[in-house]
């Protein structure tokens, strides 16, 4: 019996990857979910990944006994995949899986090597870089050593969006990236397929010790990106500013901000934030207190900026509330794009004063009515507004360990 079979017996897990196009729920075939049942994967390059996952009931196919390995994956389908494949109640991962962070990055659009500030619709297909960045953030993976040296393994490294470079490097160092048909081409902008997502999830579970590695004697193993010691050695650079590169030379306790660390924040605007359900808002918060290590050294100084967005959260079609998701931490002239941090969910609440107190409030009320399709003068709409006091409601917690490049002495209160 495999180690995963033992694990499954303990956890009674049933993880499902197969999804109908555009659907939010899987179609599970009645026969045992093995690759033998899939009539369209027998000669497919990804068969070993699919077969291993199916044999352990981690994926299944469609009612017509197909897996449809080359079918594109939409944002909604991927959200369902990671939700079930990395269910915290079923899969005991070493660092857990942050589904909120994964879903957030899967909803971001990358184009022409950069991140566009536009949220995708659930029906939009995802690219390889979106899925990879989502997995890296969900797993809380950070790169070690030189990010540029690691990415040199890809001949198209220059096409990787700057905001995604740390994530791709971390996944590469952990053996999670699979490139077919050319292992040296990441092809970040290519629409991702079900076969590719299955391969990424397989390798993520291998990294976590849940699955055994693919045998090197298997032909498909040549598509798993391997980083040699030469690629992954940290090197000195004379470029000076390492902004956004996160080129760490150490990941020791002295430089670590532990998972679960709370970060109190300040907000420059004095007014509370009011959002309509489903609305997204980009905002910048400031760290309210020094975050220190056990020796009293300052890891994240007071006044450091946290850029991110307030994003809506749903359960199916039901709106649950809004949540701040960090995108970037700025400490002095250094920028960290791999921070995994979110606030608690903020639910809708009626304003203390139901009547607009200013022209600004009235404008917000009217805009909320336009966004929701309801009359801005109704009490129901007033109760639908989400009223947020950032300094009270948006305390942030780290979803995974985070390492800074420098530690300073605590000279300020």
What pLDDT is stored for residue 90 in this prediction?
Answer: 54
Instruction: Indicate if the alpha-carbon torsion angle 374, 378, 382, 383 is positive or negative.
Output: negative
What is the tally of structural domains in the chain?
Answer: 2
Examine the domain organization and report whether 265 and 181 are in the same domain: no
User: CATH number, domain at 302?
Assistant: 2.40.128.260
Tokens coding 22: 């555009």
Cα(165)–Cα(223) distance, integer angstroms: 20
Instruction: Indicate if the alpha-carbon torsion angle 102, 105, 106, 112 is positive or negative.
Output: negative
pLDDT classification of 322: cutoffs 50, 70, 90: confident
Tokens coding 324: 């701040």
Examine the domain organization and report whether 99 and 156 are in the same domain: yes
pLDDT classification of 298: cutoffs 50, 70, 90: very high
Tokens coding 185: 């081409």
Range of the domain at 94: 3-223
Spatial neighbors of 257 by CB under 8 A, at least 6 apart, are 291, 299, 300, 398, 401, 402, 403, 404
Burial 137-159, CB ≥16 within 10 A → b, else e: bbbbbbbbbbbbbbbebbeebeb
Examine the domain organization and report whether 200 and 318 are in the same domain: no
Name which residue leads in pLDDT, 245 or 359: 359
pTM for this prediction: 0.57
Question: In the predicted model, is pLDDT for residue 192 greater than 90?
Answer: yes
Contact 394, 306 (CB under 8 A): no
Examine the domain organization and report whether 198 and 275 are in the same domain: no
Examine the domain organization and report whether 200 and 321 are in the same domain: no
Question: In the predicted model, is pLDDT for residue 86 greater than 50?
Answer: yes
pLDDT classification of 323: cutoffs 50, 70, 90: confident
Examine the domain organization and report whether 72 and 161 are in the same domain: yes
Residue 24 inside a domain? The answer is yes
Residue 368 inside a domain? The answer is no
- Over residues 224-232, the mean pLDDT reads 67
Choose the final residue of a domain: 173, 207, 223: 223
Residue among 107, 70, 66, 80 nearest 19 (CA)? 80
Examine the domain organization and report whether 84 and 194 are in the same domain: yes
Residue 379 inside a domain? The answer is no
Residue 187 inside a domain? The answer is yes
Examine the domain organization and report whether 162 and 300 are in the same domain: no
Examine the domain organization and report whether 74 and 167 are in the same domain: yes
Residue 237 inside a domain? The answer is no
What would the DSSP string read from start to end of 107-149? TEEEETTEEEEEEPPTTSBPBHHHHHHHHHHHHT----S-HHH
Examine the domain organization and report whether 114 and 205 are in the same domain: yes
Examine the domain organization and report whether 291 and 338 are in the same domain: yes
If you search the block for the tokens 């009359």, which residue do you land on?
375
Residue 32 inside a domain? The answer is yes
Residue 373 inside a domain? The answer is no
If you search the block for the tokens 């009270």, which residue do you land on?
392
Examine the domain organization and report whether 192 and 272 are in the same domain: no
Bridge partner residues of 343 (DSSP): 396
């Amino acid at each position: 019996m495999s180690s995963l079979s033992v694990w499954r017996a303990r956890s009674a897990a049933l993880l499902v990857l197969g999804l109908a196009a555009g659907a939010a729920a899987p179609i599970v075939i009645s026969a045992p979910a093995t690759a033998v049942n899939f009539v369209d994967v027998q000669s497919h390059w990804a068969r070993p990944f699919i077969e291993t996952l199916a044999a352990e009931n981690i994926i299944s196919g469609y009612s017509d006994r197909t897996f449809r390995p080359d079918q594109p994956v939409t944002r909604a389908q991927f959200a369902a995949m990671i939700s079930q494949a990395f269910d915290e109640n079923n899969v005991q991962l070493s660092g857990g899986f942050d589904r909120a962070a994964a879903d957030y990055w899967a909803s971001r659009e990358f184009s022409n090597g950069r991140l566009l500030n536009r949220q995708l619709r659930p029906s939009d297909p995802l690219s390889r870089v979106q899925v990879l960045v989502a997995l890296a953030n969900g797993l809380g993976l950070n790169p070690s050593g030189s990010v540029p040296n690691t990415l040199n393994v890809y001949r198209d490294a220059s096409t990787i969006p700057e905001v995604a470079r740390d994530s791709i490097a971390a996944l590469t160092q952990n053996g999670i990236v699979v490139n077919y048909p050319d292992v040296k081409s990441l092809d970040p902008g290519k629409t991702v397929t079900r076969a590719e997502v299955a391969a990424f999830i397989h390798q993520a579970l291998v990294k976590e010790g849940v699955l055994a590695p693919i045998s090197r004697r298997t032909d498909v193993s040549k598509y798993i990106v391997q980083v040699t010691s030469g690629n992954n050695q940290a090197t000195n650079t004379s470029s000076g500013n390492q902004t956004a590169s996160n080129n760490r030379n150490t990941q020791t306790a002295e430089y670590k901000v532990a998972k679960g660390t709370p970060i109190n924040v300040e907000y420059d605007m004095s007014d509370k934030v009011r959002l309509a359900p489903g609305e997204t808002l980009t905002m910048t918060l400031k760290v309210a207190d020094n975050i220190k290590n056990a020796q009293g050294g300052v890891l994240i100084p007071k006044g450091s900026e946290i850029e991110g967005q307030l994003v809506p959260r749903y359960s199916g079609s039901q709106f649950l509330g809004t949540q701040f998701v960090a995108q970037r931490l700025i400490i002095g002239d250094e920028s960290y794009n791999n921070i995994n941090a979110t606030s608690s969910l903020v639910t809708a609440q009626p304003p203390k004063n139901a009547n607009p107190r200013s022209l600004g409030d009235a404008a917000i009320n009217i805009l909320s009515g336009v966004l929701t399709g309801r009359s801005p003068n109704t009490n129901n709409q007033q109760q639908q507004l989400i009223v947020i006091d950032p300094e009270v409601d948006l305390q942030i917690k780290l979803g995974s360990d985070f390492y800074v490049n420098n530690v300073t002495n605590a000279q300020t209160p």
